[in-house]
Amino acid sequence: EQTIPLNKQIEFYSTVYGQFVEQLGSIEAQKYLSRSLFAVVIGSNDILGYFKPTSSMKQKYSPQQYLDLLMTTLKGQLQ
């Protein structure tokens, strides 16, 4: 089971964006990427992991508290 955290996905995007800018120039890179589709998958392992019998998170957080924690983390990563 391998996952890529959101902050790493953002880092990968930034790297690829920089490469496009180098190769195409800023305006052409923006045009190209504006026509692109991006798949970003986040949180599924975090949510499913909460419900595993071995999860220590259930002892620390109620389901709502855990979701609130995930949302707070996501908001911080998106800024």
Q: What is the pLDDT of residue 40?
A: 80
pLDDT > 90: what percent of the chain? 49
Q: What is the pLDDT of residue 1?
A: 60
DSSP state string for the chain: -----HHHHHHHHHHHHHHHHHHH-HHHHHHHHHT-------SHHHHHHHTSTT-SHHHH--HHHHHHHHHHHHHHHH-
User: What digits encode the pLDDT tens for the residues 18-54?
Assistant: 999 999 999 999 999 999 998 887 878 888 888 889 9
- Which of 26-35, 39-48, 56-65, 68-77 is least confident? 39-48
